[in-house]
Amino acid sequence: MVDTVNSLATRVHELLVAILTHGADVMVPGQDTASSPRGFLGSRQRLDVASALRDVVTRAAALGPEGTWLAAAGHSSLSALAIARGDANQALFHLDAAVTSGYNDCVALHSTPLRRLHHDPRFQAFYQRMRITAADLDELFWLHQEIQLTVQESQRSTIDNIGRLDTGVSLLPLAPMPTREPNTRGLLVTRIELAAVQSTFRQVALKMEFQRSSGNTSLSLIDDTWDYTSATRDAWHADALESQRVRAAQARAFVGRPGADATLTHCPPLGTIAYPA
C-alpha cells in the first residue's frame, strides 16, 4: 500500500484511539505494505504502539513537506507515552523533534503533566522556537476545551442512562470539527487528538448502551412483569435529552474571531497559559 497524507492521518487516529482505549502498553496490528513481514498463516504481525508511532514518523518523512506535520504528531504522541512511563528525557527528545517538524501546541504544553518540565532548559529552548498565529491559538484553546467537554459529556451521559428500561441506544453527541484552513499545519496534530478522544468516548458510550439495551431486551422476552410503560417513558425522555445534547454540541462549534491576526508570532510566554478546565 502506498502511503498518503490521508492514510497516515488515519493511522495516527487509530493509534491514539488504541492508546486511549487500552493504555500505553497496547499492541496494535502492523501497517500493511508489500514488504511488511507477516506472522503465522500470513496474519499481520502485532507491534507495541511506540514502535507503530515510530513507523509513522519514518513513513511521514518519506512524504516530504506534506507529511511533516504527521511526523510531529508521531513524535508528540511518543512524548506522551514517555511521560506516562515517567521518562522525562525521552519526552523532551520527542517534543524537541515534534517542534522541529512543526508542532506548535503551546496550550497542550501547559497541561499538568507537562508543567513539570517547564524548568528544564531543553523544554524552554524548543518552546521558544515555536510559532503560532492568533487565529490558530484561538482554535487551540477551543480544541482543548472540547477535549475536556467530550470526557465530561460522556460521564454525564453514562450517569443519565443508568436504570433506563427501554431498548433504545443513544449516541454521544459531538461538536463538529473546525473546517477553517489553519495558518500552521501544527494545528492539524491537535485536531487529530480531539478526533481520537471523540471516537474513543463515543465507542465506549455505544458499547455501554448496547449492553444495557440487549440486557433490557433479554429481560423483556423472559419476564412477564416487564414494565413497558416505564420503558416507553424512559425512551421518550432519552430521545428528548439526546436532541437537547445534539443541539448543545452543534452550538459549541468553533467560530473564529473576526479579524483574528494570521501573522506568525512567538507563542505566549511559557507559564502564562491556563490550560482549559
pLDDT single digits (tens) 14-66: 999 999 999 999 999 998 654 454 544 445 689 999 999 999 999 999 999 99
What is residue 45's predicted lDDT score, i.e. its pLDDT? 85
CA distance 178 to 252: 11
Contact 166, 118 (CB under 8 A): no
What is residue 228's predicted lDDT score, i.e. its pLDDT? 84
- DSSP-derived secondary structure letter, 265: E
Instruction: Indicate the pTM of the whole model.
Output: 0.93
Positions in the chain short of pLDDT 70? 1, 32-44, 223-226
What is residue 218's predicted lDDT score, i.e. its pLDDT? 80
Q: How many CB atoms lie within 10 A of CB 97?
A: 19
What is residue 90's predicted lDDT score, i.e. its pLDDT? 98
Task: Provide the grid cell at 172.
Answer: 454521544
Contact 230, 165 (CB under 8 A): yes
- DSSP-derived secondary structure letter, 72: H
Amino acid in the structure at residue 133: T
What is residue 35's predicted lDDT score, i.e. its pLDDT? 46
Contact 188, 205 (CB under 8 A): no
Q: How far is CA 19 from CA 25, 119, 239, in A?
A: 8, 28, 32
- Could you please report the per-residue DSSP string of 191-207? HHHHHHHHHHHHHHHHH
CA distance 258 to 65: 30
Contact 153, 229 (CB under 8 A): no
Q: Give the side-chain half-sphere CA count within 13 A for 173.
A: 20
Spatial CA neighbour of 114 closest among 100, 132, 126, 102: 126
Per DSSP bridges, beta strands 27-29 and 265-266 are unpaired
Which residues are CB-neighbours of 212 under 8 A, at least 6 positions away? 161, 164
Task: Provide the grid cell at 248.
Answer: 448543545
What is residue 41's predicted lDDT score, i.e. its pLDDT? 46
- DSSP-derived secondary structure letter, 166: S
What is residue 40's predicted lDDT score, i.e. its pLDDT? 45
What is residue 44's predicted lDDT score, i.e. its pLDDT? 66
